Amino acid sequence: MAGQQGRNVLVSIGDGEESETFLLVAGIRARTISLSAGLVEATTAQSPGAWRELIAEAATKRAEVAGRGVFLDAASDALMRAAYFNGEAPMMRLVIPDFGTMTGRFQITELAYGGDEDDQATIAVRLVSSSVVTFEVD
């Protein structure tokens, strides 16, 4: 059985207007795409058989994407850098080909630059959701 390949992610930032338009800023090879939900425990002395009980609707959800890649151009680099240094959580669209699209506000919690002297500059980025994230299947 063949394993599934790693995921490429196209990162776009919204322009902040009411009718949001997204500008492609980077392409990364995802190291991780993590969707998680915190648990809210509701176990009491009356819980059946002393089994733990959870309140499903109360869980806090989180989406996180981390990877390495390249910026589209210098203007794209400037947009991401400004969002990072200003502590913003811009509306972003993360397109994962043949998988789906995540759209929502993301905080840039890591932005690292690298590369060889005679090659293109690379980035490492970690994006963490800061509001509702929608997911549309391709």
Q: Would you kindly state where each structural domain of the chain is located, as residue ranges? A: 7-137
* Residues of the chain under the 50 pLDDT cut: 1, 3
- The strand ranges marked E within 21-118 are 22-37, 61-71, 91-96, 100-114
The two tokens of residue 68 are 């390495």
Q: Regarding the domain delimited by 7-137, which CATH topology (the fold level of the hierarchy) does it fall under?
A: Factor Xa Inhibitor (4.10.410)
Query: Which residue do the tokens 């995802």 mark?
Result: 30
pTM for the full model? Answer: 0.83
- pLDDT value, residue 98: 84
Which pLDDT belongs to residue 2?
A: 52
Is the C-alpha dihedral spanning 65, 67, 70, 75 positive or negative?
Answer: positive
The CA distance from 57 to 60, in Å, is 9
Q: From its phi and psi, is residue 103 left (phi > 0), alpha (psi between -120 and 50) or beta? A: beta
